Amino acid sequence: MKFDTPATTNPIDQLRVIGQPVNRIDGPRKTTGTATYAYEWHDAAPNPAYGYIVGSAIAKGRINAIDLAAAKAAPGVLAIVTAENAGKLEKGSLNTAKLLGGPDIQHYHQAVAVVVAETFEQARAAAQLVRVDYASAQGAFDLAKLTDSAKPEKITGGPADTKVGDFAAAFAAAPVQLDATYTTPDEAHAMMEPHASMAAWDGDKLTLWTSNQMIAWNVADIAKTLAIPKEKVRLISPYIGGGFGGKLFPRADALLAALGARAAGRPVKVALQRPLMFNNTTHRPATIQRIRIGASKDGKITAIGHESWSGDLPGGQPDGAVSQTRLLYAGADRMTTTRLAVLDLPEANAMRAPGEATGMMALEIAIDEMAEKLGIDPVELRILNDTQVDPEKPERSFSQRRLIECLRTGAERFGWSKRSAAPGRVRDGRWLVGTGVAAAFRNNMLTKSAARVRLDSSGIVTVETDMTDIGTGSYTIIAQTAAEMMGVPIDKVVVRLGDSNFPVSAGSGGQWGGNNSTAGVYAACIKLREAVAQKLGFNSAEAAFADGQVKSGNRSVPLAEAAGDGELAAEDVIEYGDLAKKYQQSTFGAHFVEVGVDTATAEIRVRRMLAVCAAGRILNPKTARSQVIGAMTMGVGAALMEELVIDKRHGFFVNHDLAGYEVPVHADIPHQDVIFLDETDPMSSPMKAKGIAELGICGVAAAVANAIYNASGVRVRDYPITLDKLLDRLPEVG
């Protein structure tokens, strides 16, 4: 199905199941421990062996020699795979061959060997006996020393640099100016389920049970790396214990499970030990961001410029921290630039809302700083500079843009009018209390997505697609879509996900999964409805599907009759025309936060949080709310505690476990309110939805930072905002 014009009649609009707060259909399996994760396929491939990865002890250099004699002689050892005996590994789209290092080493904890043994304990013990002789080389680990870096060709969603008008002249002429630099640190995904895989070979065919967000991408990369046809690789990933972008691509667990299984001649399981989750896999890169804003005395932005520096391995990609600045606020003269330093740190790549999450940590503080210079309320300054067209391409309007409504709705609900504009004025006992605001922004991306839908003789509708569920509720919204389209209760729908034998979906990432995958199910259901109507002798344009019946005029027939003694099946893919080119499609929101700062210790406590979101039709308010409050929690982590600390002598992340890498816990997070504006976007898809998962994190950290300033009068531009950055300055506002 090609979607290029909004439909005048749409079965989804009935909203009998879609749009309802349906409980997650996978919830019982997850809460009873019967959902099968990547490391738990005990019956699918009996008698598996266990692999344990040896990570490099240097960040840059070469392996002179590896002594495997003691490890091979250890009890239970079946095989040891290194770059020397792995065979030729081809360079996939993300250079997956480098997931196994040697002789060259690219970063600390790069996998250099996998030891396969009868038990996990034996594999771990033998791995300690692998002796590697390294020749260490000098590496580059400090972004701040490499700001004169290369210009990349592009960032996600556009060119590396943009320019409209004459920014330099407009900024110089502006009566009110802001020129400030902000930094964000390296951050880790730190999801509960580690990267884990089990591999089994049947002749030349590989089956890989793995924890991965994008099935089709990974089939292609694994196949190319191993130099086998894609048809010979099957990936299975029905349940994923957190991804956040860290499981978009194949990692060492998947490749080395496959290599280990081939070497041992039996199935092999590999799970990355927690330190390798930090230094072996991907992370969010640190940024240095300079923001310049010029405005008239009445608050109209006349010039806005955003420059960003980040780092990655050779051939890597930059963080797209400037992306939201191209679209969020008006201003005739503007520019953005992105530079990329080559660093010998673990790979930098996508992490929830890549680009906007880090960019808005800086931009939305800068807007507040500008509001203070102008003497204008921060909410009103954002409203004053709203735009209904793409500021870089004024001929293109937004399909929908309700940022102003998000800000005003949130301000009213949060009690913004009671806020003290002057910082450090509100106390609650020993606590200084302040409130902060930030806009939220994330683009809506359209990606083709396919599904297969089957109807059997008992009236059960089964949906099959390689879409994944990373804890986001994909199972439930897909079931709701099929139930709505076929006119059956949700308990009559079976959803099967995460298998490369199923039609290729959008996959999970970039908050594109919900809208696109359900649109693919919609397309398949349209085909199935046509097949049902034809089988029952109805005109498909006039047939109504409801309550397990197909109705037309005075005639009503049970849906199940269309399947006869067998089944009816239909498969289709949603593909998009040029609506995304005609209209800028984005999601918007506003975050409001109240914090307390202890006057003696500078301890920071988040007291209240509110998010207001405009993201098209909300397919399931219950699962959507869970997505947003989880994202808000991640935003608090980014603001107050998350930081991968680099040993700049040896080039590794020191705090590479969950004891040293701090994330928010229940006691850190207060009650969180979420408001969804009632809207549909007919330009987005037949579902009229967009995405919500990443919008919830965009702007949160800045709202926390702005609240801390309002409470204490101390402006911190370097994240995370830890108490040591406040403590010596608090007496200034005592």
Report the SS3 class of residue 210. Answer: strand
* DSSP output for 275-286: HHHHHTS-BBPP
Give the span between the Cα atoms of 331 and 334, in whole angstroms: 7
Structure tokens at 416: 């913004």
Closest by CA position to 595, among listed 706, 724, 719, 733: 706
First to last CA, the chain: 64
φ, ψ for residue 362, nearest 5 deg:
-90, -50
Q: Are 520 and 574 in contact (CB under 8 A)?
A: yes
Q: Are 455 and 486 in contact (CB under 8 A)?
A: yes
Q: Is 694 a catalytic residue?
A: yes
**Is the preceding peptide bond at 346 cis, omega within 30 degrees of 0?**
no
Closest by CA position to 631, among listed 335, 242, 296: 242
Q: Are 638 and 701 in contact (CB under 8 A)?
A: yes
Q: What angle do CA 316, 59, 208 make, to 5 degrees?
A: 65
Q: At what angle do helices 215-226 and 252-264 cross, to 10 degrees?
A: 50
441 bridge partner residues: 588
Give the span between the Cα atoms of 135 and 477, in whole angstroms: 53
φ, ψ for residue 48, nearest 5 deg:
-75, 150
Residue with tokens 């310049």, as numbered in its chain: 292
609 bridge partner residues: 593, 672
Q: Can you say whether the dihedral through the CA atoms of 692, 694, 696, 702 is positive or negative? A: negative
Neighbours of 536 (CB within 10 A): 17
Closest by CA position to 453, among listed 502, 500, 490: 502
Pairing of strands 672-676, 604-614: parallel
Give the span between the Cα atoms of 121 and 132, in whole angstroms: 21
Phi-psi region at 556: left, alpha or beta (left = phi > 0; alpha = psi -120 to 50): beta
Closest by CA position to 675, among listed 588, 568, 573, 584: 588
Q: Can you say whether the dihedral through the CA atoms of 290, 294, 297, 299 is positive or negative? A: negative
Active site residue: 372, 484, 642, 694, which one? 694
Q: Are 208 and 258 in contact (CB under 8 A)?
A: yes
Give the span between the Cα atoms of 246 and 277, in whole angstroms: 9
C-alpha distances (whole Å) from 515 to each of 62, 292, 680, 707 are 46, 35, 12, 33
Closest by CA position to 130, among listed 58, 53, 61: 53
Catalytic positions are 694
